[in-house]
Copies of this chain bind each other. A is one copy, B any other.
Amino acid sequence: MVSGSNKMAEIMAAAIQLFKDKGYHATSMQDIADAVGLQKGSLYHYISSKEDLLILIIREALAQYISNLEEIARSNLPPRDKFAEAVRHHLKGIATNLGMLTVFLREAHALTPEQRAIVDRETRRYNELVEGIYQEGVAQGVFRPLNPKLVCRTVLGACNWFYRWYRPDGPLSLEEMADFFVDVLFRGIEARPAASETAPPGSGGQSAAGGSDTSAGA
């Protein structure tokens, strides 16, 4: 099992692409081997099992996510900016690592209970960071006092779903969409109504994506 090599990175990339496109179970080791130009047996120089590959992908997705959010949480920004940054970071993370995040968000349930437990723990940590930011805002009177878990789940739910419909070639830029999310989710939880009644972001565009994906919406 090698970890830093080039081939390893190739294998990871191929697996991410395939898992995203076909799903974890529907992807065979043969598929991955073909994608990187190896015999399927040769893959086992780099990984120890197919699940290992999934774990690697998910762990990396999580690690990137969390470390960035921790930085935001630790920063000196006022809560509203922290919150806005958290949402932007979340969406940007999905957009720039769409494959990895799709695999994480959709295939984590394929892990064995032991691995799931680890992932769950990390996920909970992420949620807690978001809740912390929210509660900071509540303490400072910036956010309405609501059930923090519920706030967190609502906001992150909307953000997570992003992976199901975001397409890099859609009509709206990532920036526009992030602005939109921040604006809308913000109003839902801020303590005082937004004073500014200027045109909100994203108000003019029509469609954020082609709309051809299975699951967006229902």
Contacts and interface: CB of A to CB of B under 8 A. Distances in A.
A7 interface: no
A161 interface: yes
Interface in A85-130: 104-106, 108-111, 116, 119-120, 122-124, 126-127, 130
B126 A217 contact: yes
Nearest to A116: B214
Contact of A214 (B109, B165, B200): B109
Given A157-B160, A208-B149, A127 B217 contact: yes
Nearest to A118: B214
A205 interface: yes
Nearest to A166: B153
A144 B203 contact: yes
Contacts of A165: 153
Contact of A218 (B127, B180, B205, B206): B127
B123 A214 contact: yes
A150 interface: yes
Contacts of A1: none
B161 A215 contact: no
Q: How many interface residues does chain A have, given as a range?
A: 35 or more
A151 to B, nearest CB: 7
Nearest to A189: B184
Contact of A211 (B149, B181, B186): B149
A203 B147 contact: yes
B109 A106 contact: yes
Nearest to A207: B149
B172 A147 contact: yes
Given A126-B218, A180-B147, A153 B208 contact: yes
A209 interface: yes
A66 B218 CA distance: 8
Interface of A: 23, 25-26, 62, 65-66, 104-106, 108-111, 116, 119-120, 122-124, 126-127, 130, 144-162, 164-165, 172, 177, 180-181, 183-189, 192-194, 199-200, 202-209, 211-218
